[in-house]
Amino acid sequence: MNSTMGGEKMEDFNEQSIPEQYRPVSTWAFVGYFLLCCIPIVNIVCLIIFACSDSNINRRNFARAYLVIFGIAIVLYMIGWASLFNASSSVTNDTLKTYEESRTQMLQEQNNYYPSLGILPN
């Protein structure tokens, strides 16, 4: 089977003939980039450098995609914490109101049973 690509035979195709900017990145290079992105602070610096460089289109697109996903994760993380904080503060307020109401009710009952003590609610 003798297929052609752009007028050249596939057997004659050489990866070295592709300009450096468009050469495919190997699987192991992507694994290395992914491992590099697991290191805190270093990942942000490297991703910004890779996203702004023109040395390899594939690496640049990988870095941009990773930054987009990273940004989305941070936004979702902030929304989750905000909703958790909002829920916990409403539970805390309800608990404090219930405590004050029960305390006032208890003091009123004590005042009804023991008026000589002179316990008055605040």
Indicate the domain borders of the chain: 25-117
Which pTM does this prediction carry? 0.60
Q: What is the pLDDT averaged over residues 23-36?
A: 91
Q: What is the pLDDT averaged over residues 73-87?
A: 87
Give 4's strand partners.
Answer: 9
In whole angstroms, give the CA distance from residue 37 to residue 45. Answer: 9
**E strand or H helix at 110:** helix 57-113
pLDDT of residue 7: 57
Residue 70 has pLDDT above 70, yes or no: yes
DSSP assigned state of 41:
T
Nearest to 45 by CA among 29, 63, 58: 63
Q: How many CA atoms lie within 13 A of 119 on its CB side?
A: 13
